[in-house]
Structure 1
Amino acid sequence: MRAFVTGATGFIGQRVVHHLLRHDHQVTALVRHPEAATHLRALGVQLIPGDVTRPQGLVAAMQGHDCVLHLANRYSLYEPDEALYESVNVDGNRHVMQAALEAGVGKVVHVSSIVAFGASPDQPLREDSRVGPHANAYARTKHAGDEVVRAYARRGLPVVMIYPGAVLGPGDPKDTGAWIRRLVRRQQPARVFESGGFTFVHVDDVAEAIVRAAERDGNAGESYLIGREYLSNRQFMSLVSELSGVPQPRLALPDWLAHAAARVAGAVSRVTGRPPLLGLSPDTARHLSQGFRFDSDKAERELGLTYTPVREALRADIATFHAG
């Protein structure tokens, strides 16, 4: 299989490239800065300079490929300029899907996020769950971007949708990884939103699911939720403490006070132009308190997935840095 990958230098994307190569597929990666992706070139990956926010050249780059694995997105729970979410997560999707349609690609695997479902009234979530209110701009634009993809599917583009849960693993540069580092380095002054929680998944399990979805015949139009193990925030923080040997913060804030602190931190951030203290913006607070829960019966049944325990994903991540 000749696979065209966007977002190949990201936390999940790099694993997807490795899994594709282990499955003996040929890989082309769209990268904004080829000079920073020489590690991919050394693996035999063909690098194409480009950006999903700029559609010029995408059609020509995709021609001759069997599938497009679309992972490029703007993921964070805080951005000073929220237009960045729209540019990448919505317009970027439109550009990639249009190019795939024009290039005659046989399949697109679009990687979204479980947050696109928002606070769905259907709990635990399923692939056919209704969409509820979204906690932040990131989640809203992930849902809006999915609607763009579905519109192209209705036009005949063969699309498979992947919805990972909260992704864990070594070297996580994003919000969950930052949360773990703050806990281990004793930079988290209080426990917050302990009753919320998430279905977690190891980054390598997500990568394997994406590759298997690309390889499977006859699954155009299908969606898969990826993850199995649910932990409340209280359980998650306790497990980080157990594995790192670092005590949890003694102070536990009630939800109303944590939301108030997040509003203050957000206001200060807007004035200073700097990220909110401890990453606790109002959007982050809503995300932590809302959480999500789902099962993965369909992906396990149709893609043959088995999952790495959350304990092992956390252990691997904690091993990559030292407590301060």
Structure 2
Amino acid sequence: MRVFVTGSTGWIGSATVDELLRSGHEVTGLVRSDESAAALAAKGAEPLRGDLDELESLRRGAAGADGVVHLANKHDWADPEGTNRAERAAVEVVLDALAGTSKPFVIANGLSGIVEGRPALESDASPAFGPDSDRGGSENFALDAVSRGIRSIAVRFAPSVHGRGDWGFVNFLTAAARARGVSGYIGDGSAEWSAVHVTDAARLIRLGLESAPAGTRMHAVAEQAIPTKSIAEAVGEALGLPVTSIAPEDAEEHFGFVGGFFGQTMTGSSALTRELLSWEPAGPGLLEDIRTGAYTTA
């Protein structure tokens, strides 16, 4: 299968490209720079220059592929409205290119905001509808396009997709601990996060692309509920720093933007995903990764 991957040199995208190539697929990856193009070509994938604002590049990539994996997102915390508009426009172009082909389209989302008060299930629909909602309502937009002859599949990622080289939430927590001289958690640290190793997430994407039925929601969750205090303790152990509680009103000042997430419970079950696709996570757990230096050594 020739697969078009957006975000192909990002954290999850790089692992996904590696997984697809190892499994015998051909990959075309959307890239924004000469450096990224060279890195992708060195792996044996074909780079396609463009970005989420260059809709013609997205159309060409999707039209020339047997399937699409959409992982790119601007993640512009200073302009969430612009991020949402760009996501909606990009997905619309891809859906138009795939309409009537029965080709697979795997689209990324997160677990945050799906439900409150319990772990999110694959049967829970995203509450984001319409172009002005979170991520432009792209998950529902894509799944609704099943009626247009597209094998749309949503993959929802745990808040920590971890591993050596991760520049996501745990990386920012580690940076805050270094800067402040303490590893903090918010309040009593009872908020919980789900987690998955990046290699397990990439394998799930590949399995879904190959065989998930149209309309499937997959949860990339290996560990369902890790207390945020335990995450802070692991960071403190890895850095040799004391661990302390941070008052909720001081979280943003202490942690930066990630403080808005670290005090939230963001969890989901992957029971249906594992049963449907025979997906069994095999990578190390988040606390093991932190304690063994994934975030503190080069």
The answer to whether the superposition gives a TM-score over 0.5 is: yes
Query: Which residue matches 1:88?
Result: 86
CA change 1:188–1:153 in 2 (3 A) is farther
Query: Which residue matches 1:305?
Result: 279
Partner Cα separation in structure 1 for residue 179 and residue 232 of structure 2 = 13
Instruction: Provide structure 1 residue ranges, at least 5 long, that are not aligned to the other structure.
Output: 134-138, 266-276
CA change 1:233–1:13 in 2 (3 A) is same
Question: Is the counterpart of residue 153 in structure 1 residue 150 in structure 2?
Answer: no
- Equivalent residue runs for 1:288-299 within 5 Å: 288-299=262-273
CA contact (8 A) 1:62 1:105 kept: no
Percent identity of the aligned residues? 23
CA contact (8 A) 2:3 2:27 kept: yes
- Equivalent residue runs for 1:39-58 within 5 Å: 39-58=39-58
Partner Cα separation in structure 1 for residue 92 and residue 9 of structure 2 = 21
**Of residues 228, 233, 238 in structure 1, which corresponds to 2:222?**
228
**Of residues 151, 161, 167 in structure 2, which corresponds to 1:173?**
167
CA change 1:131–1:46 in 2 (3 A) is closer
CA change 1:175–1:311 in 2 (3 A) is closer
What SS is found at the alignment partner of 2:196? strand
Query: Which residue matches 1:32?
Result: 32
Partner Cα separation in structure 1 for residue 273 and residue 156 of structure 2 = 10
Give how far 1:320 is off: 3.1
**Of residues 90, 97, 100 in structure 2, which corresponds to 1:99?**
97
**Of residues 109, 122, 145 in structure 2, which corresponds to 1:127?**
122
Partner Cα separation in structure 2 for residue 198 and residue 22 of structure 1 = 30
CA contact (8 A) 1:227 1:296 kept: yes
What SS is found at the alignment partner of 1:28? strand
Give how far 1:113 is off: 1.3
- Equivalent residue runs for 1:133-282 within 5 Å: 140-142=133-135, 144-166=137-159, 167-183=161-177, 186-188=180-182, 190-193=184-187, 194-216=189-211, 219-229=213-223, 230-242=225-237, 244-250=238-244, 252-255=245-248, 257-258=249-250, 262=252, 265=253, 278-280=255-257
Partner Cα separation in structure 2 for residue 109 and residue 6 of structure 1 = 11
Q: Deviations along 1:180-209, whole A, 9 cap, x unmatched?
A: 233356545743241212011111111110
CA contact (8 A) 1:198 1:233 kept: yes
CA contact (8 A) 1:228 1:294 kept: no
Q: Deviations along 1:127-160, whole A, 9 cap, x unmatched?
A: 1225569xxxxx9523722122123223222111
CA change 1:189–1:5 in 2 (3 A) is closer
What SS is found at the alignment partner of 2:54? coil
CA contact (8 A) 1:112 1:163 kept: yes
Tell me the TM-score normalized by structure 1. 0.79
Tell me the TM-score normalized by structure 2. 0.86
CA change 1:143–1:189 in 2 (3 A) is same
Query: Which residue matches 1:2?
Result: 2
Partner Cα separation in structure 1 for residue 95 and residue 57 of structure 2 = 13
Which residue identity does 2:56 align to in structure 1?
Answer: Q
CA contact (8 A) 2:102 2:149 kept: no
Partner Cα separation in structure 2 for residue 83 and residue 187 of structure 1 = 35
CA change 1:13–1:57 in 2 (3 A) is closer
Give how far 1:238 is off: 1.2
Partner Cα separation in structure 2 for residue 71 and residue 223 of structure 1 = 15
Question: Is the counterpart of residue 320 in structure 1 residue 297 in structure 2?
Answer: yes
CA contact (8 A) 1:116 1:143 kept: no
